[in-house]
Structure formats: structure tokens, C-alpha cells
Amino acid sequence: MLRFKVVDEAFNRKALPVEIPSERPEAYYGKYVFNRQKMFEYLSKHTYEALVNAIDNKEPLPLDVADSVAEGMKRWAIDNGARHYTHWFHPLTDGTAEKHDAFIQHDGKGGVVEEFTGKLLVQQEPDASSFPNGGIRNTFEARGYSAWDISSPAFILDQTLCIPTIFISYTGDSLDYKTPLLRAINAVDKAATRVARYFDPEVNHVQSFLGWEQEYFLVDEALYSARPDLMLTGRTLMGHESAKNQQLEDHYFGAIPSRVEAFMLDLEIECHKLGIPAKTRHNEVAPNQFELAPIFEETNLANDHNLLLMSLMAEVARRHNFRVLLHEKPFSGINGSGKHNNWSLGTDKGKLLFAPGKTVEENLQFLTFVANVMAAVHDHNALLKASIMSATNAHRLGANEAPPAIISIFMGSHISRILDKVESLAAADLQSLASKEGISLGLTQIPDIMLDNTDRNRTSPFAFTGNRFEFRAVGSSANCASAMIALNAAVAAQLKQFADAVDARLAAGEQIKQAVLAEIKALITAHKAIIFDGNGYSDEWKAEAEKRGLDCETSAPKIFDAYLRPESVKMFSETEVFNQVELEARNEVKWEMYTKKIQIEARVLGDLAINHVIPVATRYQSVLLDNLYKIKSLFPAEKSEKISAQDMAAIERISDHIAIIRSEVADMVEARKVANRIDSEREKAMAYHDNVLPHMETIRYNIDKLELDVDDEMWPLPKYRELLFIR
Ligand code: ADP
Ligand code: MG
């Protein structure tokens, strides 16, 4: 039987050797990246300076410079084995898109020359009519353009020069994640710089930083191939819990299995060659679950690196006979995977704006930025939830092991107490914000918390962790840009309001510190409802959050509505991140993607139920029936009834489960048909959520029960206990 064959294959595999470079990491780090060092080497002094100037000052690149850059970049790429180039962009689906072209042009003599011009480097017109666009391209113009994002360096992957690009329509509307991310980063730069200058007039720019922590599962390739649900949907649609899973918490602290260690080492080396600063790797809570985290970087670059990492992982996993699962909930009953987004702002003078300091100015600045984040997250809590919501992440949020489907901020008891004190601080007491160690206020010193992580609350979707905020509700398969766009834009809009209010006070003759303090106090009073340090999984919190007016919606298609609320449209338009057309188009795509994901899962589940599970359950039932007849014919009635009572009960149970599965599959198919006839993408997604999903749950429940009854020898699909424990 196939199941035993693949289980054998998987369990007998040994760790594979990893090709370790002979040099130290410093020597090969960034080997395949066209970074400043390579630019300097391959470009003329004039071109190098023009390019660096354009990057640093966010200025457009003149076409003649682009031509010289293209020439140098091509030489570098060919020297490093590249044969093709591609504009690498982030469409509104998961992952990235590429269209490869060879570096060749006709030479006019019947042959070819290797050529790559500035025009090809800077702008392309990929045949992209089949990327989701929510109707933007249809309405306006059938073309989409990709244009070089000079702030993220080109790199070589699989002998292809990859040029990070934005993807926009002819009218300039964004069709990707990168364009609005760059706009949001600009918006927060502008607004935060204005505010940071109250404390340090020398500040020219504020950068947004992102440090993601990528969680994932590994499954042996043979077992994966024997599970059509994993192959087609990325998660198991059925499977009874293993008797042992994560109860003993032995995986989190356990040694990394040697096969996995080889994979991790291989991946880390590949990351470093591509300039991804991978640093931390460890086991996660669930069996077969792991995490990789790099050192944080500027947000746009960090996000490119995360997307690159996700494709790299898939490739390296295959080398080690693994498949990597990035789905947020591949297995029920054990933890799902997220991608914590550690986020902060920092000035070009090297100051992190969410880090407390020792002087009045430093701590006033710290409180200013923290209070503005509180306000932004409070005002836009529904939107932030929408930014991390998807058909796949919906399985994780709200379950009893992940952030709840309510956005609140965990500040920790120290900061919470400080905010309380500041709310009633008199201007004359400003000096209490300074001490040798940090904010005094007669409280435990702030620097102490940075060393002390015991105060961490794992149930919070958005937590302050010393010098940054950690947005934990982001899904493992998500493009971080979605969350980073909403967060940076919301904070930018809030900081602008703050600066306007402070400027008005200054114009009225107030002192700067007093003006800032007055506005901080107002923000704390108006927005402390977003702070919640308690247990986010508890039912009391749901009731309390509702009372506080926080968004408690749990249906993904309805959560997406938050993008179209007037306050969101206003905020995005003020920050110039999205116009209304883009927002509407994007929501169409979100609803459509939601529907398609559930539709595919429902089809796969229906097939598995009817073609895999029911035939096997029926066969086992006949074995029991056959046995029953034999007992009846051999033993006297009184005795046979006693012997066969349990068999009888099992036969009945199996019959009941089979009957329910059959009728539920029929109902599910019917619900799909009804939903498919709906024109509106929103209504269709809601129909899938409300009317299709519940059938899937019932079908799964009954299949999982059958798994407990049916002979193990007959069960066709690898079981959880086989999938989840790598030898
Ligand atoms: P934990 O798992 O305890 O949350 P990790 O060390 O695994 O912590 O991950 C922390 C992540 O946060 C890393 O990617 C790290 O680079 C990042 N990080 C640290 N400081 C900042 C900061 N100021 N801004 C953004 N990210 C940060
Ligand atoms: Mg973390």
C-alpha cells in the first residue's frame, strides 16, 4: 500500500551533505547582489555617483545614466553566470512574478549580441493581462508596466538577473504591493521627519524598519506527494490529531533533527549569498515547525528579502527531499504559522524613535512616537486587521493559539504605568522625564524592561517590545507589504495631524516642550482604549473589546470592508498611498482570491471524501459485516449477540459518518453552485464564508472520526503522526 511505502521512504531518509563554501560568510555575503561595492567596481565614477545620488535622494534616474548602469550591471551579471534578466515584481497574488528574457539582440548580420539597455532596465511591459487587477486594467487601459525600484538592489537567482520593480497600470494606478509600500514609506518619512525635528532639527529623513520572523513547517516530500490536499491547497483538509503532538512542548526546546539542520544550513548559505541577513533559526512550538529570522532592515528591502526567502525556501527544501509549508494552518489541533513583523522608525542620525532615552528631549520624543502609534492603531484597528486577513490566515486568527481577531496594543505594565502618569503630568514636572537611567517618574526604570522579556504577552496581536512594535497577526504566507502599507500610512497620517496641532500651538506662542506634552496627553486620553495587557484569548476580552468600540468582526470577507470605510479612504488619499479606484480594485481582488481559495479546498475535500475515504470506510464496514454474519452463524444467538455488540456499534457509526459525509458533500456542491451564480465578488465571498465553509467543517469532522474506526492498514492517506515527526 502506497501509504506504508511513502512512510517507509520518509522515515529512512538521512541528512544530506551541504556544500559549504570554503570562505567565511563575510567573503560570500552578497555575492549575488549588485550592491554598492559591485556598482563601484562595474560602473564609471560618474555613473556610480549619479546612481547613488538618485538612490539616496529618491530622485529619478536620467536615461543616459540608466544606459551606463545597464551596461555595468549586465557585465557583472554575465561574469556571475547569468544568461537572462527579469523584472521581478509583486503582483496581488501570493509570491512574486517574473518574465525572463535572454540578454540577446540581433546584431544585424544574422547573429546575436548580448545586449541590455537602460530602457530595458528601467521599464518593461510584461504581458500581464492575467494578473489580478480588480478591473483596473480593463477599465482604463489594457497595459501594465513594470519600472525599476532603484532603492532595492538587483540580484542573481538561478542564473537570472532579477531587477526589483514596481508594477503599475498605464494610468499610474498600482497593480502590485511594492508601489503602495514605497508610497507609505515616503509618507511616514515625510511626517515623522517633521515631528522628529522638534527634538533634533538636524534630522533629514526617517526610515521605516522591518524585521520579520518567518515560521514554517517542513514535511517529507514522499508524504507530501501522498496527500492531494497538501499538494493542492497547502494544508491538510482532514486528519485526526496525533495522540502525541505538542502537549509536552518538547519540540520547542528540542534539538533540531539532522535532516532539518542540513536544510537550514543550506538555506542560510543561500540567503547570505543573496544578501539576506539570516541570523536566527530554531524549532517552533508545533512538531515539524521552525522559524528563520534575519537582522532587521529598511522596510522595502526587508520585504523584498522576505519574498525572496519564501521562494528560496521552496527550492532548498526540495534539495533535501522536503516540502516547505507556508500556509498559516497546515494542521489542525496544533499551532499555526505566523510572521511577526517587528517594526520601528529611525532617523538618519541613527536614533530609533521608539527607544526611550535619558534626557527630557529623548523621552518626550519616545512618548510622542509611542502615543502617535497608539492613536493610529486605535483609529485604524479594523483596517490593520483587514491588512493581515486572508482565507488562509483566517484559520489562525481567533483560534486559541494565535492572536485574536481583535487588534489591541500590549504595552507592558511599565510603559502602561508611565503613560498613565504622563496623562496627568504638569508641564512644570517635565524634568521627571529625565534621569541617569531613563524615565523616572518614580517608577521602575525603562531600560530595565529591555533586558526583561518576562513581561511579554504572547496573546497580543501588536506588542511593544523595547524599541519596536511587533505586529504578530501577520500570516506566514503573506506579503508583509500589506501590513506595512497600512501601518506606515496610518502612522504617517497620525503624525501629520500631530505636527499640525503642535505647530498651531507654537504659532500661538507656546514653548515646544509644553506644546508637545499637551498633545501627547490628549492622545493618551483619547486612545488608551487600544491598550490591553491581559489575556487576548479570553472571552472576557471579547466582551470588553466590544464595549471599547474595537472591531470584533470575524468574517474575512466583511473584514475587508474596512479598506473602503470613509476614514480609510481619507487616510490613504491624504498620505497618497492609495486612491479610491485602487482601493476598490484591490478589494475586488481580495474577495476574488478568498472565494477561489475556499472553492479549491471545497473541491479537493469533496473529491477526497467521495473517492478516497468513503470507498475505504465502506470496504472496512463490509469486513465487519462479514465477520458479524460468521459469528451469528457459528454461535448460539445469546452468545453471538454479546460478542458482536461492539462490532455492531462500529458498523453503525461508520454508516452514520458515511451518510453524513455523502449528504454534506452534496449540500456543499449545491452551496457552491448557488454562490458561483452571484455576480458581486463581495457577496460571493460572503456566500463561500457563510454557506460553503460550514459544510467543510462537518465533512472533516466525520472523516476524522472514520479515521479512528477504520483499519489502519486500509487508511489511504498519511496520518498526522506520520506527517508530523521528522526522523
Ligand atoms: P523574538 O522571537 O524573541 O521575538 P527574534 O530575535 O527572533 O525575537 O526576532 C526579533 C526580530 O526583530 C529580528 O528580526 C530582529 O532583527 C528584529 N528587530 C530587532 N530590533 C528591531 C527594530 N528596532 N526594528 C525592527 N526590527 C527589529
Ligand atoms: Mg517575535
Q: What is the CATH number for 596? A: 1.20.120.1560
- Helix (H) / strand (E) element for 194: namely helix 178-196
Out of 342, 344, 366, mutate this one to test ligand 1's pocket (max ligand atoms within 8 Å of CB): namely: 342
> By the 8 A CB rule, do 87 and 98 touch?
yes
170 in the same domain as 97: yes
Percentage of the chain lying above the pLDDT 90 cut: 72
Quickly state the pLDDT bin for 281 (edges 50, 70, 90).
confident
What is the number of structural domains in the chain? 3
Predicted confidence at residue 54, as pLDDT, reads 93
Task: Give the per-residue pLDDT at 137.
Answer: 52
Within its chain, how far is the Cα of 519 from the centroid?
34
Q: Which atom of ligand 1 is nearest to the CA of 344?
A: 24
Domain shared by 96 and 221, yes or no:
no
The set of residues, in sequence order, having a beta carbon less than 8 Å from that of 709 and lying 6+ positions away, is: 617, 620, 650, 653, 654, 657
Instruction: Tell me, yes or no, whether 124 and 205 share the same domain.
Output: no
pLDDT category, 593, cuts 50, 70, 90? very high
Which CA distances in Å does 502 have to 39, 64, 353, 432, 493?
A: 43, 45, 18, 21, 14
Average pLDDT (500-525) is 96
Query: Using alpha carbons only, what angle is made at residue 20 by residues 15 and 23, rounded to the nearest 5 degrees?
Result: 165
- pLDDT for residue 242: 85
From ligand 1's centre to the CA of 357, what distance in Å? 19
Query: Which ligand 1 atom lies nearest to the CA of residue 346?
Result: 23
Based on the domain organization, do 620 and 562 belong to the same domain?
Answer: no
What's the pLDDT at 357?
85
Taking residues 508-512, report their average pLDDT: 95
Size of the chain in residues = 727
pLDDT for residue 452: 43
Query: Residue 252: pLDDT band by 50, 70, 90 thresholds?
Result: low
Instruction: Report which residue type is found at 565.
Output: R
Do 467 and 551 share a domain, yes or no? yes
Task: Note the pLDDT tens digit of each residue in 416-438.
Answer: 888 998 998 887 787 777 765 55
More confident residue, 374 or 439: 374
The answer to whether residue 20 is domain-embedded is no
Would you say residue 612 has pLDDT above 50?
A: yes
Residues 226 and 247 in one domain: yes
The atom number, within ligand 1, closest to the CA of 355 reads 23
Domain termination residue (choose one: 526, 547, 578): 578
Q: Is the pLDDT of residue 189 over 90?
A: yes
Residue 340 CA, ligand 1 centroid: distance in Å: 9
Range of the domain at 334: 186-578
**Nearest residue to 59 (alpha-carbon basis) of 69, 51, 68, 67:** 51
Q: Is the CB of 464 under 6 A from ligand 1?
A: no
Pocket probe mutation, ligand 1, options 290, 295, 296, max atoms within 8 Å of Cβ: 296
Binning pLDDT at 50, 70 and 90, where does residue 643 land? confident
> Which among 148, 176, 204 is the end of a domain?
176
Q: Give the Å distance between the CA of 339 and the centre of ligand 1.
A: 11
Distance 334 CA to ligand 2 centre (A): 19
Average pLDDT, the chain: 91
Q: Is residue 485's pLDDT more than 90?
A: yes
Instruction: Check pLDDT > 70 for residue 298.
Output: yes
- Helix/strand/coil percentages in the chain, nearest 5: 55, 15, 35
| Whether residue 343 has pLDDT greater than 80 | yes
Take atom 2 of ligand 1 and give the residue whose Cα is closest: 213
In this predicted structure, what is the pLDDT of residue 564? 98
18 lies in a domain?
Answer: no
Per-residue pLDDT, 451:
38
Residue 43 CA to ligand 1 center (angstroms) comes to 35
Query: What pLDDT is stored for residue 415 in this prediction?
Result: 87
Of 153, 176, 199, which one is at a domain's C-terminal end? Answer: 176
Protein residue closest via CA to atom 1 of ligand 1: 213
Phi and psi at residue 354, to the nearest 5°:
-100, 15
Whether the CB of 352 sits within 6 Å of ligand 1: yes
My answer on whether 167 and 190 are in the same domain is: no
Instruction: Give the residue with greater pLDDT, 400 vs 403.
Output: 403
Residues 603 and 530 in one domain: no
- Give the pLDDT of residue 436: 58
Rounded mean pLDDT, 645-650: 90
Ligand 1 atom 3, closest CA:
453
Q: Is the pLDDT of residue 666 over 90?
A: yes
The 10s digit of each residue's pLDDT in 438-475 is: 565 544 444 444 434 435 677 899 999 989 999 999 99
Which candidate, 279, 289, 226, places its Cα nearest to that of 6?
226
pLDDT band at 22 (very low <50, low <70, confident <90, very high): very high
Whether 408 and 472 share a structural domain: yes
**For residue 15, is it within any domain?**
no
| Nearest ligand (C-alpha, residue 280) | 1
pLDDT at 254 over 90: no
The reported pLDDT for the residue numbered 130 is 63
Residue 681 lies in a domain: yes
Lowest model confidence (mean pLDDT) among 246-250, 335-339, 466-470, 680-684: 246-250
Q: What's the CATH code of the domain at 539?
A: 3.30.590.10
- Which helix (H) or strand (E) is 216 found in, with range? strand 206-220
Mapping DSSP onto H, E and C, the string for 417-437 reads HHHHHHHCCCHHHHHHHCCCC
Rounded (10°) CA dihedral 112, 114, 119, 124: 80
The torsion angle over the Cα atoms of residues 415, 417, 422 and 425, rounded to 10 degrees, is -150
Answer yes or no: is the C-beta of 215 below 6 A from any ligand 1 atom. Answer: no
- Ligand 1 close to Cβ of residue 720 (< 6 A): no
Nearest residue (CA) to ligand 1, atom 24:
344
- Kindly state whether residue 25 falls inside one of the protein's structural domains: no
> Which has more pLDDT, 61 or 503?
503
Same domain for 106 and 230?
no
User: Which of 518, 482, 484, 523 is closest to 502 using CA atoms?
Assistant: 518
Residues 129 and 155 in one domain: yes
Average pLDDT on 65-86 reads 93
Q: Assess if residue 583 is contained within a domain.
A: no
Q: Is the pLDDT of residue 316 over 50?
A: yes
Closest-approaching ligand to the CA atom of 293: 1
In a domain, 8, yes or no: no
Q: Which ligand is nearest to the CA of 450?
A: 1
Do 90 and 218 lie in a common domain? no
Q: Name residue 165's beta-bridge partners.
A: 148
With a 6 A CB cut-off, is 153 part of the ligand 1 pocket?
Answer: no
pLDDT at 253: 65
Kindly tell me if the per-residue pLDDT of 383 is higher than 50. yes
